Copies of this chain bind each other. A is one copy, B any other.
Amino acid sequence: MSLKAFDYESLNENVKNCQYAVRGELYLRASELQKEGKKIIFTNVGNPHALGQKPLTFPRQVVALCQAPFLLDHPNVGMLFPEDAIARAKHYLSYTSGGLGAYSDSRGLPGVRKEVAEFIEQRDGYPSDPELIFLTDGASKGVMQILNCIISDQKDGILVPVPQYPLYSATISLLGGTLVPYYLEETEDWGLDVHNLRQSVAQARSQGVTVKAMVIINPGNPTGQCLSIANLQEILRFCYDERLALLGDEVYQQNIYQDKHPFLSSKKVLMDMGAPISKEVQLVSFHTVSKGYWGECGQRGGYFEMTNIPPKTVEEIYKISSIALSPNVPAQIFMGLMVSPPKPGDISYDLFVSESKGILESLRRRAKIMTDGFNSCKNVVCNFTEGAMYSFPQIKLPSKAIQTAILAGKVPDVFYCLKLLEATGISTVPGSGFGQKEGVFHLRTTILPAEEEMPEIMESFKKFNDEFMSQYGFITT
């Protein structure tokens, strides 16, 4: 009997080969336990509102009014909404033809793209062209679309940091391309060594792979580092020398928890380097409304900006954007608000600043509590979270634990994370889901649990961990 289209055996092998650990075995088990009534602390995904972060008031007022335009001229609207939110809602509705219920241009609303360009100009000090900015349903969708354009088959390679956010490995698998790993150096605050990069490229080329582009995640996910200007310059020079495009995942650019390494955009560093590099390196940079102090993950909004991408290619990207008609319009409004928040003097300015500062300062404190907590545990070492939303401690698993895991048919860090979940309800992602050096183990947590719960969570982690290490005799190979 011949197979049918949806029989497992006949599915696209690229689909079957994908791995997406952030919602993998650990998440599925956590969901089961939650159904059984266990209290689960979901730190598997950077989903701030799910862990109690409140939305910023002003943007929500504006989008609520855009959804309910019949309120804008209602005599009582001022009893529930401040004047500046009403004005802003009218402003954004004027960008649409037909409000939030109409498809926008497939690249997003021109007015919002203009606001994004102004934000980028302000941030970097260089011009930005709205025609080269496309709005997307979250940054992930943008990354997938861009990779789709440049990966034809397995001879096309993409340099991806290890550890990496599995969006990249999963998308490259789905598109049938080749992931070319380059390792971040844990002992150097997850910095990046260009010599290693060259080796990775040389090795891939020797295997017949055409290395097309390099991904950087800055600030790092899961690793939390902020790349230094020197490192970014080295990367851009490397891309120039090797004729690689650069994909800059910069979704955590607002999430910075120290002053030594401020966020620097790839675009700015590229432009600062001047010609020929600034005119040659093809760069696509990604941003989102899901992170920062916004955390509006569920809205699915993002953008990408293209630099040095040929016009004919921009047209092709526009064409494939149009197949699904348009990104969702409400999230486009969020993106507009994110890049043009209330200004001093606006009615909502003070509230907006106090809310956003409150969130950022608390994240900064939580980053520290978490790093310190992990470093107080037996057989655990952890770099400080300079930026982003994650802590990525190394778990030095005792040999006996590794053997037990292998006997149980589990990857050792999956084994550890499952035990942690069952014992404490803390749902993490094993380091193997992000990639790590052979024989070294990690886990990723977000730093997002509520600040007041953080000490208890870290205590509960420490209790579990230290007992686990004791049970397996501490000794590592």
A39: B residues at CB distance < 8 A: none
Counting CB contacts under 8 A, is A179 at the interface?
no
Determine, out of A262-270, A312-320, A375-383, the stretch whose residues face the partner at the interface: A312-320
State whether A298 touches B104 (Cβ < 8 A).
yes
**A284: chain B residues within 8 A (beta carbon):** 6
Whether the pair A310, B8 counts as a contact (CB closer than 8 A) is yes
What's the tally of chain A residues with a CB closer than 8 Å to chain B? 100
Chain A stretch 271-321: residues in CB contact (< 8 A) with chain B: 282, 284, 295-300, 306, 308-310, 312-313, 316, 319-320
How far is the CB of A16 from the nearest CB of chain B, in Å? 6
A55-B100, A140-B324, A300-B329 given; 9 more Cβ-contact pairs under 8 Å: A5-B244, A5-B245, A6-B309, A11-B149, A49-B102, A101-B298, A144-B324, A170-B323, A328-B330
Q: Smallest Cβ distance from A137 to chain B, in angstroms?
A: 6
Contact B60 A98 (CB under 8 A): no
In this complex, the member of A5, A14, A20, A144 whose beta carbon has the largest number of chain B beta carbons within 10 angstroms is: A5
**B4 contacts A282, CB within 8 Å?**
yes
Count copies of this chain in the complex: 2
Chain B CB within 10 Å — which of A6, A70, A137, A140 has the most?
A6
Residue among B67, B80, B325 making CB contact with A63, cutoff 8 Å: B67
Chain B contacts for A282, CB-based, 8 A = 4-6
Bound-complex Cα distance A47 to B424 (A): 50
Q: Which residues of B contact A64 (CB under 8 A)?
A: 64-65, 67-68, 71
Chain B residue numbers with a CB within 8 Å of A149 are 6, 11-12, 15
CA distance A162 to B126 in the complex (A): 49
Contacting residues, chain B, for A309 (C-beta < 8 A): 6
* A23 CB–B CB distance under 8 Å: yes
B interface footprint on A317-354 (CB within 8 Å = 1, 0 otherwise): 00110111111111100000000000000000000000
A298 partner, pick from B12, B71, B100, B148, beta carbons under 8 A: B100
A452 close to chain B: CB less than 8 A: no
User: How distant is A337 from chain B, measured CB to nearest CB, in Å?
Assistant: 12
Do A152 and B67 touch across chains, with their CB atoms under 8 A apart? Answer: no
